[in-house]
Chain A
Amino acid sequence: MKKLGFYPGCSLKGSSSEYAQSVLAVAKAFDIELEEINDWNCCGATAAHNMNKELALSLSTRILALAEKQGFEEVVVPCAACYNRLTVTQHELNKDEALKQRVSDIIEMPISGNLQILNVMQLIDKYVADRLEQKVTTPFGHKVACYYGCLLVRPHNILKFDRLEDPQSMDILMKRSGAEPIEWGFKTECCGAGFSVSRTDVVAKLSGNIVKDAADRGAEAIIVACPMCQSNLDMRRPQINEYLKQKINISVIYITQAIGLAVGLSPKEVGLQKHFVPVKIG
């Protein structure tokens, strides 16, 4: 098994450390070696590309260049926003040789632009798909709503991952872990993202609609693959409940936590105790 690069990004080192913990735990359970990229920086997220295109490209390109320098051919990027930024950046550079040169000059590093950038679903699909079902010891026997958020499958023509609306990859993985994914209407709706801080009322409304639809349809957990989605649906639950005028206590867990539990890891090993809405599953 060759080593894959691992880019945690800022959130997996901070508020979503349980995501990183569960990704690494699941990787270990399947004998996948993930090695962190040395000296990585922020991907630029939403802020950079709204301010300055070159800055946004340079931040992401530096990460890609470092990964290349470390000799990785593939990099695992669990955070949906980081995955999106890195993939879009590599696409933009490969489309425009002059731009590639310019960005390369800014970061003072060479960049070839042929990394395979994988999100968690792609990682599991590629390396453990055939072994997943045999590995399941305690099937995740609950109804779940798989929530992809806005960035995991968009822009579709660049990421070329899954279907644009009503994606399936997370549902398929959850099904294979023994869960029962439900049909619902909010798979790729916006959770409110960065408005979490500045306009909590907007997040309460947007995330509220998501949580309500999942709960109304009998889901026992919402499965996510994005730290931003997780924090909005989980940490903002008091505001959500206030907006909905009802108390919804459906838990919001990362796909790697769910798969981790299914393959026999303990709730602690996948960091389930770190959520705001208590997780009563496992």
Chain B
Amino acid sequence: MSKIGVFICHCGENISATVDCEKVAAEAGKMDGVEFATDYKYMCSDPGQTLIKNAIKEKGLTGVVVGACSPRMHEPTFRKACAEAGLNPYLCEMSNLREHCSWVHEKNEQTTEKAIDLVKMLVEKVKKNKPLNAIKVPITKKALVIGGGIAGIQAALDIANAGQQVIMVEKEPSIGGHMSQLSETFPTLDCSQCILTPRMVEVAQHPNITLYTYAELEHLDGFIGNFKATIRLKAKSVDYKLCTGCGLCTTKCPSKKIPSEFNEGLGMRTAIYTPFPQAVPNKPVIDRANCTYYQKGKCKVCEKVCPTGAIQYDLPDQFITEDIGAVVIATGFNVLKTDFFPEYGYGKYADVLTGLQFERLASASGPTLGEIRRPSDGKVPKKIVFIACSGSRDPAKGIPYCSKICCMYTAKHAMLYQHKVHDGESYVFYMDIRAGGKNYEEFVRRAIEDDGVNYIRGRVARIYEKDGKYIVKGADTLLGSKPVEIEADMVVLATAGVSNPGAEELAQKMHVSYDAYKFFAEAHPKLKPVETNTAGIFLCGACQAPKDIPETVGMASGAAAKVIGLFSNNELTREPLIAVVNRSAPPVFSTCVGCFMCQTACPYNAIEREEIKGRDGSVIKTVAKVNPGLCQGCGTCVAFCRSKAIDMQGFSNEQMFAEVMALLNE
């Protein structure tokens, strides 16, 4: 015989303003199986919780229904209170009288009637609740960090400094990411490499970090605390154990005309190369697609000149598997290339550059050693036009979002140019200046007021070349959209930040959601900004959306904190509200017929096959089994199961029917 306690909360005025809470409590008291019912102004407060605890102890309650706010808000609170009073926490249910009733209706009879119905449903449900126990899962204390840019570096160092093992996977031959390409960084104008390279070295030398460069994640199986990662180590064609990084091979390689990715195509590299002088690891790889030997079977110059015999042409891709407890995705972003812009010449003009290309021009380690010169003829440009929002905030281009970093780096570019070319003129076409951040607005004002950068509010409709100049046609909207034409020597497009190619594939490999623009999606934009919907997989940096360095570093530390927090336990406690495939006595064993529709339906890969064997070891039946570590309790498999063999703990078919019937049997 059930003894249910019903506790109706006024939520200050949130519920009591439209619902007659006393009446709800009185009606609940008359319901079948209800032992005790009361109402209180703030049920979640200490006295409110004490009220529940005392009732459990004094009346010997077998179930509790709290009619209050959303279970999202306070279910853990009330379940904890029940547990403290000796009642299994899963025998406590919440009826949402606030979001589902008082907040969405006017004050009248029907609103109170609805509240009574909602309570009644939960009373009927809770009668069928079973005591459940939290699930314990072991944890492998090793983190996988995907991406070796500033986000990955920061996350890896934080986790490693907390004494945990880290595996870092970077697809390029060196770590460093986009930050290593930058010249100076806003708003302090300190040199990007100077602040980054020490950290890159720290990663390489850290005893707790295993670094795999030129490697990609191939597979990820398993679940929080117990992932299995397969990593593809792309063939470097160089034995890193023998290579000393002397660089002789890269100076002698005859294929010298390959556009350098690190210099954004403005400089050339060889087929055997290290991306840049400060690379970590500072050892070369052979780019097989551009190597004469791999393409034509002749050359082998690098093998001849290598003093340690480190060149090995026939090295294959290797695969390694690692047990992992948590994953941090830090794969970063990319910027649109100039060929995305028909109105700016489809990328055919040599001196129409992207912001990232300009960074390389302005960088001391760049193709011009930091002198601003035109790629086409090497002349110093006397007039530069910068175009902010190139592609961003333009629904017609399919990029409605703001890329966030461009306003600041455009101001920085114009400033750097004025610092380097004193008689130069710079113009910035902008839509708005978005300089929200510490010392950011001041930085932009400095560019305008101290360095004399001309800011024009308006968009550029066209760029075409004439007599070696670029005619930039736009409008000045602050002068009533007066047409503006500027004859520029160089144009820099602050192109939109976009997701990395391959981000989609990676997300699918890891069962992480991503948005319409192929950026990874966080679990909650405000309250879970570094978590994904898959437990144990975290995010940070520009793979979520374009971000500047401070924000990236902050979120990388945030993701690291989450990982360290996870690793601070020896085992993991999880809610037992998961799917279970029933088991029964022989000869049936389970009503599961082994069709495995549930396996195809499960978004979390949580369903496994289990063989039920006889005494002689022969397989009698193959049935589905839910992995409790992976199941997120979404219930999709329950809906798919044709033989009703799967049930959801805490939301069993029986409980759901009880709720519905409570409504119908008025």
Contacts and interface: CB of A to CB of B under 8 A. Distances in A.
B338 to A, nearest CB: 13
Contact of A185 (B342, B346, B348, B466): B466
- Name, among A183, A184, A185, A186, the residue most crowded by chain B CB atoms within 10 Å (CB to CB): A185
A235 to B, nearest CB: 26
A165 B471 CA distance: 15
B465 interface: yes
A164 interface: yes
Nearest to B473: A185
Contact of B343 (A165, A183, A186): A165
Contacts of A3: none
B464 interface: yes
A34 B41 CA distance: 86
Interface in B337-393: 342-343, 345-346, 348
A36 interface: no
B471 A163 contact: no
Contact of B346 (A166, A184, A213, A216): A166
Interface residues of A, number: 11
B462 interface: yes
B342 A184 contact: no
Nearest to B343: A165
Contacts of A163: 342, 346
A213 B466 contact: yes
A213 B464 CA distance: 11
Interface string A147-190: 00000000000000001111000000000000000011110000
A165 B344 CA distance: 9
Contacts of A186: 464
Interface residues of B, number: 10
Contacts of B345: 165-166
Interface string A111-152: 000000000000000000000000000000000000000000
Nearest to A186: B464
A165 B462 contact: yes
B518 to A, nearest CB: 21
Contacts of A185: 462, 464-466, 471
Interface in B438-465: 462, 464-465
Nearest to B470: A185
A122 B583 CA distance: 68
A164 B462 CA distance: 12
Interface in B418-447: none
A217 B464 CA distance: 13
Q: Which 4 A-B pairs have the closest CB atoms?
A: A185-B464, A165-B342, A164-B342, A165-B343
Given A166-B342, A166-B348, A216-B466, 17 more contacts: A163-B342, A163-B346, A164-B342, A164-B343, A165-B342, A165-B343, A165-B345, A165-B346, A165-B462, A166-B346, A183-B465, A184-B464, A185-B462, A185-B464, A185-B465, A185-B466, A185-B471
Interface of A: 163-166, 183-186, 213, 216-217
Interface of B: 342-343, 345-346, 348, 462, 464-466, 471
12 contacts: A163-B346, A164-B342, A165-B345, A166-B345, A166-B348, A183-B465, A185-B462, A185-B465, A185-B471, A186-B464, A216-B466, A217-B466
